[in-house]
Chains A and B, each alone.
Chain A
Amino acid sequence: MSVQDLILGLHRFWAGQGCYLAQTYDVEVGAGTMTPDTFFRVLDKRNWRVGYVQPSRRPDDGRYGENPNRVQKHFQYQVIMKPSPAAIQDIYVQSLRSLGIALEDHDLRFDEDNWESPTIGAWGSGWQILLDGLEISQFTYFQQCGGIDLAPVPVEITYGLERLEMFLEQKDDIYDLDWSADVSYRDLRLREEKEFSEYNFTAASVTMLRQAFAASQKEAGRLIAKDLLLPAYDMCLKCSHNFNLLDSRGAISITERVKMISQIRALVNDIARRYTGGKDGA
C-alpha cells in the first residue's frame, strides 16, 4: 500500500460515512484544524461532516532531510463529524480495519491527550491513538473554538499520514515510503525538506517576516471592521505561519511569543464572535 492508496482508502471510507470530501486549503497552516473547513464549520449550529488531506507546516520540525521521522511539512487526513456520532470510536476502529490492519494482532490504545491550540482559542478532550506504541491519530471532542463553546460538539479525527504509512509499510525511514507505485516520498519531498530547513532556520529574512506579520495583523483588523470575516481569517493564518517562521529563526523571545500568540488569538476570537452572531462575550 502506498501513501496514495492510503489517502484513497480514507476518502472512500469517510465518504461512506457521509463526509463531503473537501480539497486541500491553499494557505499555509500548522494543522488541519486551522483551515476554514474546520474552523468556521464547527462554530455554527449546522450539522457537518467533512474529510480532507491538509499539508501541515511546522518550520521548527525541519531536519534538513536527515531525520527519519521529523519533517517541516507533513500530511494530515482531517475528519470532522458534527455532532459527534455515538459510535464514533467504533467507526474509527472500522476505518483502520478498512485499511487492512488486522487489529487482533496489535495493541490499539486510546491514550488520554487533551488537544489545544492557543492561537485559535481552541481546545478539546480526547486521546492520542497509539498503535503498538506509535501515535497514528489524534481524536478530539472539540469543546471550544475561537473562544466559543461549541454546540453541538464536533469530533475531530486527525490521521498522521506518514506515521500511518510507515506502520503499514513497516518502514523506519519516512523517505523510503512509496507515494505511488513508482514515486517515493524521497523523490517528492527530500529536496523540499533540505531547502525549506535552510530557509526556516537560517535564510528567511527576519525583517521581512516581522513586516509581513504586522501587515497581515493590520489587514485582519481592517477586514474584520468591514465584516469580511473569511478574508480576515486568512490574514490570521498568515500571521500564524509568519510567527512560526520567526520562531524557527530563533527571533522570538519567550515574552514576545506570549504576546504574539495572544494578538493572533484576539483577532481569531473576534472573528468567531462575529461569525456566530456576536452574542457571545465582547
Chain B
Amino acid sequence: MKKVIAVLLAVAMLLVFAACNGSKTEKPPETPSTPGEASTDAPDATPADSTGDLADLKVGFIFLHDENSTYDLNFINAAKAAAAELGLSDEQIILKTNIPEGQECFDTAEDLVDAGCTVIFADSFGHEDFMIESAKAHPEVQYCHATGTKAHTEGLANYHNAFAAIYEGRYLAGIAAGMKLNEMIEAGQFSAEEAKIGYVGAYTYAEVMSGYTSFFLGARSVCPTATMEVTFTGSWYDETAEKEAANKLIADNCKLISQHADSMGAPTACELAGVPDVSYNGSTVDQCPNTFIVSSRIDWTPYFVYAIKAAVAGEAIDTDWTGTIASGSVVLTEINEKAAAAGTAEAIAEAKAKLEAGELHVYDITTFTKDGAQLDSYLADVDTDADFTPDTEVIKDGYFHESEMRSAPYFDIEIDGITLLDRNYG
C-alpha cells in the first residue's frame, strides 16, 4: 500500500512541479471556465468591426478519428484552411481527435465550451445526439454538426446541420470510372458486358446508397453496359475489412473499384491487385500511383468559413446548410493521368457545366429504373423518427431532389443494375 501511494505521490509531485513551471503560459484558456455566461453579450453587440471579434474568437472541432482516416483528414485540412482564410491563429482553433460517438463527445464539447469556444463543429454522424445535449445546455454557443439529420426537427436555435451535394461529385467521378471502363473494353481486356464495378460501402445508409448510386449513374452515362456490385463492411473505418471487401470484389471479376469507407483499405488492395480505383475523401495518388484515377470529396472549408463568420457577426447560421459545386464544397481532386482514360478531364468539365446550369440532374428519373419500372413518385424519410416513416415527396419535375429537403442525403432506392452482395456485413 505504502509503496504504491509513494510512487503515485512521486508522480504527482513531479507533475505538479512541471505544471508550475509551465502554467504561466497556460493561463488564458482557463479563465472563462467558471461562469461562461458572462461573455455571451459580446457576439450580439456586433458593429462593423468584426475583425475585433475574430481576434478573440475560439473555435472547437471534434473529430471521430485522426489524420489516419481519410474522412477525418479531409475535415482536419478544411479546419486548418478555414482558420488560415479567416486569419485565426493556432491557439484559436482547438482540434480534438479520436472522440468516440458516446458521452465522451458530450464531455469534449463541454470542455471546448470551458476553453472559451463559441463555435463547435463535429464531424461524425454518431456525434449528433451528444452535440444536441451540449447545445441545449449552452444556448450562447453555436453547434455545427456535419452529416447529421436532426437540426430541422429539433428546433434549437444554436444547433445546425451541414452536408454537401456530394452526389454530384460522385456522379462526376463516376464519369471518370465509365471512361476507364470504355478504355479497357476498347483495349480488349474484357467485353462490354463484363464491365462490372465493385463498390465497398460502410452501411446500407442513405449517404452511402446515394453515393454509390450517383457514382454508378455517372459511370453508366458513358459506359451503358456497366453494372455494379456493392458490399458493406458494417463500419465506417475498418482497414482490414475494407481491404478484404475490395479483394472479394476483385476476385468476383469487378474491373474497377470505388469505395465509401474511410480507411486506405480499398485503395491499397487495388494498388496491389493493379485494379483501377476511384477514391473518396481525397487523393490517394501518393500511395496508389498506378491505380488511382480521381477522387471526389467534400471541401468543408466554405462551410467552416461561413459558419464562423455568421457566428461572429451574430447572424443566424442555416439550420441545414448544403454545399454545392458552385459554393466550392463539392470538388474533385487532380486526375491521375497515368491511370485515367484519355479525355476524362474534358468529359467531367462538360458534365459539370451542365450540372451547374441545371440542364443535367443526377437522379433524372429517365436514367434509372426500380424493378424494371420508372419511378414517378417517391416518399423519402426526411424527418428522423423511430419507425423510418417516409414523409416527404422528393420526385418532382422529372428528377429526385436530393439534399434539398435537408442537407444530409436521403436517396435510398435500390435501382436496377446494382447488386447488393450483402447488407452491412462483409
Does A pair with B? no
> A: which residues have CB within 8 A of B?
none
